[in-house]
Amino acid sequence: MTFVDTGALVLLLAVSAGTATAVMLITFVMGNARGLHRIVDVAWGVAFAAVALVSWSLSDGYGDDGRRAVVALATVVWGLRLAVHIARRGRGHGEDPRYARMLDRAPGSRSLYALRKVYLLQGGLVWLVSLPVQVASLVPEPLDATAAVGLTSWAVGVCFEATGDHQLARFKADPANKGRIMDRGLWSWTRHPNYFGDFLVWWGLYLMACVSWQTALLTVVSPLVMSGLLVFGSGKRLLENHMAQRPGYAEYRARTSGFLPRPPRRPARPSRARER
């Protein structure tokens, strides 16, 4: 494979898989003991950060130091920010309704079902989605224009996601907004500014691994899978199904973009019957 040491890549892929699995197994033990499996959402960002640090460490002597450092730092910043935000948001709350419904349908042991369908599945996704981080760490070429575009996309994505999360947290903290739909700030431009931010982050990290058609082809599965999860999987689709019956949500949905940011639509004017 051009630009990447194949032996080092195979070792890194194996160790990264073990790292993601270890983070999820430790989280499973904690979540199972507490009877609270929503803790896996915190581990999602932590696992990405752990894989990034392992990739940075094992790629020493193979990848360009500048590219290794930038990719690792970008992933750690994104992963830990997300983990801290989710931990704060979930503090004092019970089980996530998504996991409660899933485990209520468990055909046998709830714990083993959670291990397979929640923790190990997410560990596998962490490994797959983090492919650009692993491959970019082994690239011996210095940062170039494509990487600069990727870093810009990552920065905009993190800012977009963090700003949206902050605006929503402030909105929910105001008792006057209880029962209301958040439709201010970035949330007036897209119904999911946090998911759109994630979208930019992972396409940006992908670009940091694109130094040849081989590395681009090997890692493109990562942003494609993440985009699919955000739009059609456990992100936008599930959340909107949950919100569908909330008062005012239909009107909000009609005037606000579902994903890509754009100015909100103006409400349609009521039609007037022609006078006769």
For 147-157, letters b (16+ CB in 10 Å) and e give beebbebbeeb
pLDDT for 128:
97
Range with the poorest average pLDDT among 17-21, 55-59, 187-191, 235-239: 235-239
Distance of CA 238 to the CA centre of its chain: 15
Question: 235, 185, 84, 44: which is closest to 243 by C-alpha?
Answer: 235
Mean pLDDT of 55-69: 96
Please give the model's pTM, rounded to 2 decimal places: 0.91
Mean pLDDT of 217-232: 93
Residue 245 near residue 254 (C-beta atoms within 8 A): no
pLDDT for 23:
98
pLDDT for 267:
64
Listed by start position, the domains of the chain span 6-255
| Residue indicated by tokens 């005012």 | 248
Q: Is the pLDDT of residue 223 over 50?
A: yes
Q: How far apart are CA 66 and CA 48, in angstroms?
A: 20
Confidence at 120, pLDDT banded by 50, 70, 90: very high
| Residue indicated by tokens 């581990």 | 43
